[in-house]
Chain A
Amino acid sequence: MEDSRYKKLQRVYIVLILLVSFTPLFLLGGIMYYQVAKTYRIKIEEQIRYRAISQTDSIDLFLKERTAILAAIADTVNFDQILDEKNLLKIFEIINLRAGAFVDLGVIDQAGQHRAYVGPYELRGLNYFQQPWFSEVMTKGVYISDVFTGFRASPHFIIAIRRQEDKNCWILRTTIDPDIFGGIVRSAQIGKTGDAFIVNKEGTYQTTPRFYGNILGKTDIDPSKFGGLTTVNEEINSQGEKRLTAGRWLKNKTWLLIISQDVSEEMGGLLQTRNQEIAIILVGSILIILTTVITTRLTVAKLEEADTRMNELNAKLLQSDKLAALGKMAAGVAHEINNPLAVILQKTGWMEDLLEDEALKNSKEIVEYRASLKKIEEHVERARKVVHNMLGYARKMEPRLEDVDINETLRQTISMLENYARLNSIEVKTILSPDIPIIASDQSQLQQVFLNIISNAIDATGRDGLIEVKSAVGETTIDVMIADNGPGIQEEQQKRIFDPFFTTKQTGKGTGLGLWITYNIVEKLGGSISFNSEVGRGTTFTVKIPNAPPTEK
């Protein structure tokens, strides 16, 4: 029963300490991780956004350069000159040498007829009038197409410039090498999972992506989600991978550059940080648990030990109270029995005296009478011995005079009660006069007196109290004052506190004999005991012990 009480206490302590330790630890760990993850996320978003911007810029520049070159040619040569394929070839060679990425170069008249061509395909004589891009370039003047297959049945895109020459107008058109263009776009692919490609407004691939798709195929990406500036989204693709996607429209507003990266690859560094943090918390937790369990066990064990010692001391006090009471009773019983025994003994003696009378001496029954009287005397003697043995105990309670140092006795008594006081957070202060002489008294009985009063003071004060023990030399006595700041004694109880069996403690906690014994001991030692109590302020007991000089030896 007791055992489980301490086990329960131990469990409560452990749970409380762990709760108090772990809550901030986990909270701190969580917040730190959240903050680091947030910062990390912002950082990689910034990186991918930056890559999108710079890559868009270089693609824009590439297209602008090609468009500018084409426009410069169209503006400087006239229709007749450009129709001469020797001139066209020369121009084609020069621009490929200077800028590159031109697959072919062709001239189309305003009727859509392909009039001159330099390049690997056989396109001469084809009519583009029905091609959608033809009307576009005729109206806008400059045109960059989406990727399409066209006559040559292979994906490509073109740049076309319209030249207005008086009433006549013609178109200079070139095909951009899809491999070179695709290469520029792909140069933004980073790491194992990085991808970079261009889609048009309809979500059709304009360059071949690195994963899961082909040029002119359809993407999962919805281009409308990407606004005017660079937009960074987190997308989950058809494969279920979380990808961070940055999109930026090129200057022509028809192509969208997409740079994407697998989130888990980018967040790899964070994952490592997280694992480190978890490891630290795990090690810390193990240490906390170990420390908590060990220290709690030690503390509870100490508490249990102190309790046990206190219980033992209480039991001893209770026992000595009982024994002292028994001694008192024995003395009283002895007196009450010895008196009638004395009368019986004298009456038998008187009968024996009477039997000496001459007349009775000759009686037939004289021997029988005498034997009977002897038997009575024998039994009186037997009863007397029983009482005598009982008194032997009572005699033990008699004070024995010896040399007593009151201060030392007080110190010893207080040290016996030190643990008990500490458990109740009660301070026991001593103000002992150094002038107390050695006196003739009974040390163990005085100790019993002080023990009773001080332990009563501790019990009465309850918790967080102060007990002051003072010693002083009086006129003919040594005075010991024991003051507590407990609740005091109710007035109606004050008259009764020295009565036997009077107690304010719970049944079983006190016999109600402590102060009665104390009173009797002090009386027997020739001293006196008194008290002064004020309800709510405390009680002071004063014990006056005769200042008797020690017997000379």
Chain B
Amino acid sequence: MESKQSQTVPWKQVQKGILKKQVTAMTEEGNIQASTRIKLLLVDDEEGFVNVIANRMSKRGIDATKALSGTDALKALRGQDFDVAVVDLKMQEMDGIELLRILKKMVPEMPVIMLTGHGSERAEEEGMEYGAFDYLTKPCELDELMQKIREALPRGR
């Protein structure tokens, strides 16, 4: 385990460096303008997590609207459209799968990326079955999430 770690860390550092440069480049070139900033719906009942992700996203040209529950998320959807949604699978009130099914009915064109806390293959498969774009296991690097978001967006965005 020790040896694996020491291999993983440098590799991640390298990868992160590249990604950061790309993002910076995008901003400088004005590819992502204020009007064209990506609108993200972020749903997770872990407030600390939602806040920090939103802050970091904002620095990377993504406007994240925070929702602490499925109900919050549905409320937010009434006012505006989103380019992409990130939904935690396990939440107290309405669980991620349920929200995913509703989202897929309301806005089928919006890609949804699932976040899972306990890595249950079954739940992940279920999410995919209901039309999730992909899933990520918590805890994950922000860059991984950014990568998934970029993959999820239609080409040209």
Contact = CB atoms under 8 A, between A and B. Distances in A.
A2 interface: no
Interface residues of B, number: 27
Interface stretch (B72-80, B138-146, B147-155): B138-146
A198 to B, nearest CB: 120
A380 B139 contact: yes
Interface in A390-432: 391, 394-395, 398-399
B8 interface: yes
A335 B117 contact: yes
A353 B59 contact: yes
B119 A347 contact: no
Contact of B46 (A334, A342, A378, A388): A342
Contact of B139 (A341, A350, A374, A524): A341
Contact of A342 (B4, B9, B121, B138): B138
A334 B119 contact: yes
Contacts of A391: 118-119
Main DSSP-derived SS at the B contact region: helix
Interface of B: 1, 4-5, 8-9, 13, 46, 48-49, 52-53, 55-56, 59, 90, 117-122, 137-142
Given A335-B117, A339-B46, A347-B52, 8 more contacts: A331-B120, A338-B138, A338-B139, A341-B138, A343-B52, A374-B9, A374-B13, A385-B5
Contacts of A344: 139
A331 B121 CA distance: 11
Interface residue tally on A, bucketed by range:
20 to 34
Given A338-B138, A385-B5, A350 B119 contact: no
Contacts of B9: 374, 377-378, 381
Nearest to B20: A356
B118 A338 contact: yes
Contacts of A43: none
A481 to B, nearest CB: 27
Contacts of A384: 139
The 5 closest A-B CB pairs, nearest first, are A335-B118, A342-B139, A346-B52, A342-B138, A335-B117
Most chain A CB atoms below 10 A, which of B8, B46, B118: B118
Nearest to B145: A346
B8 to A, nearest CB: 7
A342 B49 contact: yes
A385 B8 CA distance: 12
A332 B119 CA distance: 10
A362 to B, nearest CB: 19
A335 B46 CA distance: 12
Contacts of A284: none
A73 interface: no
A401 to B, nearest CB: 10
Nearest to A392: B119
B56 A353 contact: yes
Contacts of B52: 343, 346-347, 349-350
Interface in A191-230: none
A343 B46 contact: yes
Contacts of B120: 331, 394-395, 398
B93 to A, nearest CB: 16
A335 B95 CA distance: 14
A342 B136 CA distance: 12
Given A335-B117, A339-B117, A391-B118, A345 B141 contact: yes
B118 A346 contact: no
Contact of B55 (A343, A350, A374): A350
Contacts of A332: 118
A382 interface: yes
Contacts of A341: 138-139
B121 A334 contact: no
Contacts of A395: 119-121
Contacts of B46: 339, 342-343
28 contacts: A334-B117, A335-B90, A335-B117, A338-B137, A339-B46, A341-B138, A341-B139, A343-B48, A343-B49, A345-B139, A345-B140, A345-B141, A346-B53, A346-B142, A347-B52, A349-B52, A349-B142, A350-B52, A350-B56, A353-B56, A353-B59, A382-B1, A382-B5, A385-B1, A385-B4, A391-B118, A391-B119, A399-B122
Contact of B138 (A339, A347, A382, A385): A339
Given A349-B52, A382-B5, A388 B119 contact: yes
Interface string A105-139: 00000000000000000000000000000000000
Contacts of A394: 118-120
A392 to B, nearest CB: 9
Nearest to A348: B52
A541 to B, nearest CB: 24
A522 to B, nearest CB: 14
Contacts of A349: 52, 56, 141-142
Contacts of B4: 385
Contacts of B59: 353
Tell which of B4, B13, B46, B120 has the most Cβ of chain A within 10 Å: B120
A346 B117 contact: no
Interface in A306-347: 331-332, 334-335, 338-339, 341-347
A344 B55 CA distance: 14
A376 to B, nearest CB: 12
A335 B117 CA distance: 5
